Amino acid sequence: MKNLNSRRNFLQKGLVAGITGGALLSTFGNGLQAAVDRQNPYSNPADLKITDVKCGFVRGALYVKIYTNQDVWGCGEAVDAIHGTYHLVMRMGNQLRGQNPLNPNRLAEQIRKGAFFGGAQSGVFVAVLTAIETALWDITGKVFGVPVYQLLGGKFRDKIRVYCDTALYTSRNPSPQDYADAAKGAVGRGYNAVKFDVDDGRDPNKYDRFNWTASPAEIERMYNAIAAVREAVGPHIDICVDMHGRYDAVTGLKMAKMYEPLNLMWLEEPIPADNPEVYKSITEQTTTPICAGENIYLAYGFTRLLSESAVDIIMPDIQKAGGLGEAQRIANLANLYYVPFSPHMVASFLGAMASCHVCASVPNFQVMEWQIYMDTDDLWKDIVTYDGPRTENSFITLSEKPGIGVEINEEGMRKYAVKDVPFFE
């Protein structure tokens, strides 16, 4: 309670000095006291310093924890482009030690611009920076006693809509009926939007794994699967289809045209997202909305896709695109072109809620990804601490707790930790 009292005395003395009149002082003091009581019991934020940065790797994710001299910490997560990056985390941590964590934008930019020749444009560098930047926002929210969305300028919505990726890709050669059953199962659990992956390297009808032109039988399989989904769920459930950028432009356009009668929410990455001109040619020739962006880094990476109207919807992965501040900048950039913002999301509930704060803070949010195995797999419950329902009827309720509102559970994570890599040491 010592820090709380010190903070209370400091604020009261500073404000009282500029106020005259006993009646006014009495009235104002009550409001001031209530405001002070809502603050976290830390000393002057200007005295806050980063003391350590530690991390743990669990399957395909990196978890970072930033510590300070006032017993407040922040947590962040990154996915995909993080394998073998322990020493990169340590390097960034050394750059942060001794600095005040309450400047997430400045610190992230300091690290990124300081590594102009060190890979700071994309890939593993930006993914690791994403986890660190997210942890800085978490600390800042906790220190000032507000949720992250408030730091990002407030919220447009209280609930974040999610679509359910049914993870049918784990099955070998699923039939159209399997697709239909998976879709009905997700809808039965309350989801009003579903996604299916139709690329399958194990398809016996493929010419070979290196030829990105789909065979007639492969094209028939991809169409019949989603036609069965539409018939199973009816006209009012949104359907997303993902091709994972594993086809050429001929096949991508052919599938987009074939899917037009099925009224998809979008066709995701029919080709790799590194050639805006080819994307534009597909987008212009179909009424099926085209979506891309999960492997694009930083706002810079989205400029041509947006300025050249190459895609209809963008889907940055907030856990690797540069951080929460950068994700908001990407969304705001898209908003200038009236393009919906629909983040890719394969992280834990820590990453999901961090993403939700960004989704709440921008006007052009459309929908966010959710994996069905997160509802059932114990790993996703063990590795974080959160005292509420995760999804309800295709929505995540935005946390009102200070910071992100979700904590990592180090003990729960330990049994899933990547072997032979230091774990929060």
Summarised one tens digit per residue, pLDDT across range 388-409 is 889 999 999 999 999 999 999 9
pLDDT band at 21 (very low <50, low <70, confident <90, very high): very low
* Residue percentage of the chain with pLDDT more than 90: 83
Q: How far apart are CA 354 and CA 319, in angstroms?
A: 9
Specify the range with the lowest mean pLDDT, choosing from 33-42, 196-205, 221-230. Answer: 33-42
Q: Give me the CATH topology for the region 45-146.
A: Enolase-like; domain 1 (3.30.390)
pLDDT tens per residue, range 63-112:
999 999 999 999 999 999 999 999 999 999 999 999 999 999 999 999 99
Residue 34 reports pLDDT greater than 80: no
Q: Which fold has domain 151-401?
A: TIM Barrel (3.20.20)
Q: Two tokens at 292?
A: 């891309």
Query: If you average pLDDT over residues 1-11, what whole number do you get?
Result: 39
C-beta of residue 133 within 8 angstroms of C-beta of residue 341: no
Q: How big is the chain, counted in residues?
A: 425
Distance CA 52, CA 63 (A): 14
- Assess contact for 217 and 252: CB atoms under 8 A: no
Q: Are 346 and 369 in contact (CB under 8 A)?
A: yes
> Residue 242: its pLDDT value, please?
98
Which pLDDT belongs to residue 274?
Answer: 87
Q: How far apart are CA 145 and CA 192, in angstroms?
A: 34
Region 407-418: what's the mean pLDDT? 96
For the cut 90, the answer to whether the pLDDT of residue 53 exceeds it is yes
Question: Looking at residues 13-41, what average pLDDT do you find?
Answer: 43
- pLDDT, the chain, mean: 91
